[in-house]
Each structure stands twice: as C-alpha cells, then as structure tokens.
Structure 1
C-alpha cells in the first residue's frame, strides 16, 4: 500500500490471475475529501492507464449496506466516464476485505452491478454488468483519418466486421484487422490519433482480429489518456460484445473470449457474456494484487 496526497493507493492487475499479466490499475477504496485536482494528481503519480476512486454511494442507489459505492476513474491526463479493468480491480480489492458477493457502483456512465466469486483454484473473479450499450455508424472520412493515423491501408480491414462506434459506458471505434499480423504490427502516430479521438469523444480504439466465431484478439490504443496502449480494456470489451450482437456476428446468447495484452507481454483474458433479452453486456475476469511502486 502507498500513500499519495493523503490517500491510500492499492495496485492490482485485472483480467489476469498473475501479476505479470493483465492491465494494472490503481485503487483508492476511500477517496472521501479528495477534490478533482487531487484525484488527477494521484492518477498521474500512480501512472497506470486508470485509477479507480471509491466513495460513499448516492442516496437511492440500492445494493446491500456497505456494498454500494460511487466510483470515478482517472487516467494520468483526465477523468473517463467508465473503466472496466479498474472496476474489476476495485471489486476484487473490496472482496478481499468484505468478502465475495454482489456490489453496486454508481459511475459517471450509470449504475454498474458487479459480482465477485471464487473459482475452483481460489482465485477471485469479478463480473461487471455494463450500462445499456449502443452502436453508431462512423463516416467513411473518419475511418480514413483513423487508418491514416494508424498507418493502416483500407485493405488491412476485415470487410466482414465493418467499422462502428460502440458504447457500453465509454465510446470506442471498432476496427477489425484482416490478419493477426496486421494487429500485431501496431505503430501509430500518437498526437494525430489523440486529436482524432478527442474530436469523436472516443476513449480507445478497439482493434480486433477474429480467430473464430467466439475468440477474438484485441488491442486498444489510448493516447487521449496519455497511454500508448491499454493492456486489457473491460469497457471496450463490453462495447465490442454489443457490436458483435448488433451485427449478427454471434447468437443472442453467447460467450466470447477476448485475448488482449499478448503483444505487450502482459497477456490477459476477458470473458464477455451476452444474454438474450438483456441488452447489457457482462465482462468478467480475474485480478491479482501488485506490489507497491
């Protein structure tokens, strides 16, 4: 545990049961009394793509007493409306203190229920339920600009997975690579892509390659947060699940496996569940405590 600006900061990696995998996040379980300037300063000093800050819940949120919270998320540069991996990290951190079970987070994007369970190996796993998602078209001109910033050609795209903007708490542009090699060779223009993303209010680009009907490999550039790439992105995974359902790529009831972080040497696995009759998307994974510093 570390202390920044009077706040105790925990470090966890999400979507991996091993500290060397997944996406690291900072977690502050009691951020009461910290203003926005302090929250941003702490997130910048922690240095991860996001840090989650928890405080008492708003009146009327619901949930069991002591298991409902307000959650806010800050990158080193700005607040983001929702962050999946920091939600999983915070939920597991809470479960280590108050036990597994159901939690409720009031986030800037909406109410996010989270369930923490213990698997057969004793590993804690958290599954969040997204806010109601939506899918939006994206213009050809915007796709062209995004490809130029990435250094991709139109022929690098998989025509079976057309570009869309997907939202499940935050906005992501989904671009599908035609080959695994194209996805692996990610080397983009940081500032031009950041400017493009700010113009469209995007949190990340969700770059995907389809291995099979239910298995995908993904990468998420995050220059608007001051980070070249996010190693495992729960909010984008939820958005992608909604995208896959909207385009008829998967059945109404489906379980998808997203592999992320392999190209960064931090492999993680994100489990995505779609349920017929429920527009929301469930994203789950393990989390592991990291050493301070």
Structure 2
C-alpha cells in the first residue's frame, strides 16, 4: 500500500480546533501523570509531623515530566495526534508526501513552546506552521486509502527519549534553583536532637492549647552553620479554624510565650505549622520563628 498522502488542504478552523483539542487532551494526560506526585504531596500535608514543600526533585515529579514530554511526541505514531485522529488530519513530509517520521514530528512540536507565533502562522497558512517549516512537514486531510500502519519503533523510541530529555532540560532551572536555595535554608544538626525539650514543649503546649489540639514538636540544639542557635519545628493541628487575624495572633503569641519558657529570645529559629484539618481538606499556615 502506498505511503503517499493526498495534499488536501485543511481549512483554518479545523487546524485551530485541532490545536485546541490537542491541548485539552494532552493536558488531561499530563494531569493523569501528576496523580502520583499530587497524592504523595497531599499525604504529606495530612501527616501530623511536618510540612512538605513542593519538591521538584521528588521521583514522582519525573513522572509528571514524562506526561509533559508526551506533548512533543503527540504526532509520532502515523503523523496523527489524538486531535488529528478525531478531526481527520495527518502530518506528512513536505517534499515526499509520505507520512512524517516520528523524529520530524518531534522537531515540529518543539515549536509549541512558541505557541502564540504558531497560532498566528497557522491562521495565515493552515497547512504549515513554524514547526512545519523547520521540520519539513505539513498538515493535510487524512486519506484513509493511502494510510500505512507501519511504525518505525526505533525512531518512535528515539523521539520519546528526545522529548523526555527536552523536558528535563526545560525543568533544570527549577530543580537547580531548589537545590541552590536548599543550601541556604535553616537546617538542624541531626545529632543535636533534644528529646527532653520535645517532651517539655509538647506537654506545655498541650496544657495551654485547646483540649482537642494535636501537637508535634521537633527540637534540635544546633543549626548547621549557627551552632549557637536551636532549631524548632512545631506542628499544631486544630479542630477550630481561626478565621480572624486577631484570634490567630493571640494563639501564636501564646505559642511563642511557651517556647520562651524553654529558650531565651533570639536563640532559636524554625517554623510553626498551624493546620485546620477536616475529613476532606487541610488549611495550613506557616509562621517562621
């Protein structure tokens, strides 16, 4: 069966619709890939001991990146993304008229990054956007009679790897910035953990706070780079939400006064995490010490 595709020109409306539908469908796939990461983050939020910030270096975050990388290879199988299959379109080699290879489809989709320019060019030329001009491809109306189901698995695998590599490269600034910022974060010396202070603080906090409050304390006598300061991390889970600033400030002042019975002012750093937890949600507020 021939692999040449008829050069029927799609109209502008169909091409814009294809871009929009692809965006919706690929966004849904990316959302599915983010479920493990989001589930893990929510599980950490519901824990009683410590707050976990967004981690761009968590293993599950790389699953999110994989979902994002699929966008760049969405046309890799037979030159047809999900939207193109729905709307009857196909990507072909501009010179030969054959189905575009997975690698050509990857190159054309790199330019999705510049989507405003791509939309403008598509409005002027429905068959060839910027990515098509660079990759040597064009979009035509799908011709079932000239379709070929043969898949070049080598090129398909290469396109997927290149897509993932590109997304890794794009996410590198975020991951590097988090690592760089982490070097300057206040961190305790692990061996300086003080179990006696933990017990005293938890006992005093529980005696002064509402009876149904859940209190968890981590206390260290030294901070990395600041051995003269202690590190505290206090989590307070409440069944009452302090909606007004005045009520919350009164609660926090009470917590600070209790801390000051064990530590002199300006001799400690850390965080207090206030959480109001229901069966279906968590409202959290973090205050630096």
TM-score by length of 1: 0.22
Larger radius of gyration: 2
Higher-strand-fraction structure: 1
1 or 2 for the larger relative contact order (CA 8 Å, sep ≥6)?
A: 1
Higher-helix-fraction structure: 2
